[in-house]
Amino acid sequence: MIRTAALSVMALALSAASAWSQDAQPAKGLQVELNAVAPSERGCVFTFVVGNGMEKNVARAKFEFVLFNGTGTVERMIVLDFRDLPQGKTKVRQFDLPGTQCDNVKRVLINDSPVCEGEGIAAGACMSGIVTRSNTPVGFEG
């Protein structure tokens, strides 16, 4: 079962990466897709596909996420570590959020990037030109 889920995530990530590579104008910032949301034993697993269209490698990136419920109320705020994001590459990152029920999350917002580091990376570069999209019923914005 876990292997089937992993293969499904890999197939989705490849299709997302392919769709981004077919864009007429390549994005100059980060492209962050909420690719999947799935219940886990601990809570809810969020799977993101991230492409780095910046001209530099990002050595380390953290994003502050806000999760909203169906009434628009903030359900949770959390900082997630996306680690390194090499220039021109696509990465898949998964986060299991204990105590979070997937069905309660209706919208996700990237509120900020408290960490965006790398040689020649300016403060705020990870949020500048960020493009978000969702491959799930959960709304996603940057």
The per-residue pLDDT for range 71-107, each reduced to its tens digit, is 999 999 999 999 999 999 999 999 999 999 999 999 9
DSSP class of 103? G
The domain that holds 47 is classified in CATH as 2.60.40
Whether 34 contacts 12, CB under 8 Å: no
In angstroms, how far is the first alpha carbon of the chain from the final one?
33
Provide the pLDDT for residue 100: 96
Average pLDDT over residues 48-68: 97
Which range of residues forms the domain containing residue 89?
2-141
Average pLDDT of every residue of the chain: 87
What is the dihedral angle through the alpha carbons of 77, 78, 79, 82, rounded to the nearest 10 degrees? -120
Which residues sit opposite 49 in a β-bridge?
Answer: 33, 92
Provide the pLDDT for residue 25: 53
Average pLDDT over residues 10-28: 52
CA 135 to chain CA centroid, Å, is 11
- Residue 97: how many other CB atoms lie within 10 Å: 20
Q: Is the pLDDT of residue 12 over 50?
A: no
Which amino acid, 41? E
Average pLDDT over residues 109-128: 95
Supply 131's token pair: 């493009």
Express as a percent the part of the chain with pLDDT over 70: 81
Q: Into how many domains does the chain fold?
A: 1
Q: What is the pTM of this model?
A: 0.81
d(CA 32, CA 92): 10
d(CA 84, CA 41): 27
